[in-house]
Amino acid sequence: MAGVETQVGAVMGEHHADDGAAGDRRFGALALWVPTLFLGIGLFGPLAVAACDLPKLNRSALGDQAAVLRAVLLRTTAFAAAAALVATAGGWVVALALEQFPPRVRRAMLVLSLLPIVFHFVLRTFGLHVLLGPGGVVNSALVQAELVREPLPLTYSAWGTMLALVSWLLSVSVFYMYLAARHVPRDLVDAAASLGAGPVATLRAVWLPLTAPAAVMLYAINFALGYGTYMSPELLGGLEDITVVRLIAQLLREGRSPEAVAFATLATAFPVALFVLLGRIRRALARRGE
């Protein structure tokens, strides 16, 4: 805080003529509108342009494909929901487990868990191929141990998509939950211990309730990311495991932009609704934690 005081001291004496409340309002508006304007140009602009194709949509053609679209939506939701659950639970467990180690060990393990993100996702996915392919490490070990007769279809399958998604989401989940765990007041943990609570009771009474809101938010983020990702299902998914984004990309490649945009709009409503719902649950849990 000494540095902060120096900074505050550095601006001492340089009084501005502007009246405080008006300055706050002006800057508040600037801080609101500059990012909003950027999002307007960078996000909503392209979405609106893409939506211009909607009037060209052949509704009967879309209606004919309703069963296919429903199946793709359900499959993608199942992939994203399951991968988000595994990644969030994994991140939560590891973050809480790290709390029992000394700071140096904890930091080293955190660096190791984040290490994969500095390497390209494409490269990591090909690493998963080496591990999980028909002649890969996992299948060779399973066949040699005579646990299975033939290699399991772990790549170009639903399993491949799931494993790639979890591998992609897990590193950042560990970090996010780690920050949430660091936020838990230490005096509450000490108080629980001094009142005779063991590790399990402290986990149940302090750690879980106070980190649950972050876990709920993380689940929503992981779901949205898993739902909208292109690379994991493209590189490790099977032909019959097509997801929403693969279908949109395929429709775009075939020049069927109106159908792609209509389907994308329909598909995005789902994670948006989940985000709003989980946001409410997170706030309710946070209020209860307070």
Partner 1 sequence: MTARTVERGLTHFLGLAAVVVVLVFLLAPVVVVLPLAVTDQTFLGLPSGRPTGRWFANLNRAEWRQALGTSLVLATVSAGLAVGLAALAAFKVAVWPAARSSRWLRGLVVGVLIVPPVWIAAGYFRIVGEGGAALLILPHTLLALPTAFACLWYGMSRLDPALYDAARMLGAGPLRTLVQVYLPATWNYVLAAFFVAFLASWDESVFALLTTGPKTHTLPKLAFESMRLDRDLTVAAANVVIGVVLAVALARLLRHVDR
> Is position 54 an interface residue for partner 1 (rule: CB under 8 A)?
no
Nearer Cβ to partner 1, position 10 or 145?
10
SS3 assignment for the chain: CHHHHHHHHHCCCCCCCCCHHHHHHHHHHHHHHHHHHHHHHHHHHHHHHHHCCHHHCCHHHHHHCHHHHHHHHHHHHHHHHHHHHHHHHHHHHHHHHHCCCCHHHHHHHHHHHHHHHHCCHHHHHHHHHHHHCCCCHHHHHHHHCCCCCCCCCCCCCHHHHHHHHHHHHHHHHHHHHHHHHHCCCHHHHHHHHHCCCCHHHHHHHHHHHHHHHHHHHHHHHHHHHHHHCCHHHHHHCCCCCCCHHHHHHHHHHCCCHHHHHHHHHHHHHHHHHHHHHHHHHHHHHHHHHC
Phi, psi at residue 45, to the nearest 5°?
-60, -60
**Which residues from 257-276 bind partner 1, rule CB under 8 A?**
257, 260-261, 264, 267-268, 271-272, 275
CB of 177: closest distance to partner 1 in angstroms? 12
Nearest to 47 by CA among 287, 290, 272, 273: 272
Question: Could you tell me the smallest distance in angstroms from the CB atom of residue 66 to partner 1?
Answer: 20
Shortest Å, Cβ 179 to partner 1 = 6
Per CB under 8 A, which region of 61-69, 95-103, 184-192, 204-212 contacts partner 1? Answer: 95-103
> Taking contact as CB under 8 A, which single stretch among the options 54-62, 66-74, 145-153, 163-171 is the one that binds partner 1?
163-171
Nearer residue to partner 1 within complex by CB, 78 or 119: 119
The span of 56-64, 67-75, 142-150, 243-251 binding partner 1 (CB under 8 A) equals: 243-251
Nearest to partner 1 of 101, 148 (CB atom): 101
68 or 199: whose CB is closer to partner 1? 199
Interacting residues with partner 1 between 164 and 203 (CB under 8 A): 166-167, 170-171, 174, 179, 182, 198-200, 203
Instruction: Write down the least CB distance from residue 2 to partner 1, Å.
Output: 11
131 near partner 1, judged by CB under 8 A: yes
Stretch that binds partner 1, among 47-55, 59-67, 141-149, 184-192 (CB under 8 A): 47-55
**Backbone dihedral region for residue 124 (phi beyond 0: left; psi -120 to 50: alpha; all else: beta):** alpha
Size of the site for partner 1 (CB under 8 A): 108
Identified binder of partner 1 from the candidate list 35, 68, 74, 204, rule CB under 8 A: 35
Q: Tell me: does residue 208 bind partner 1 (CB under 8 A).
A: no
Q: Which is nearer to partner 1, 21 or 66 (CB)?
A: 21
- What's the burial of 63, exposed, middle or buried (CB within 10 Å: 0-12/13-18/19+)? exposed
In the bound complex, what is the minimum distance in angstroms from residue 271's beta carbon to partner 1?
A: 5
Q: Does 221 bind partner 1 (CB under 8 A)?
A: yes
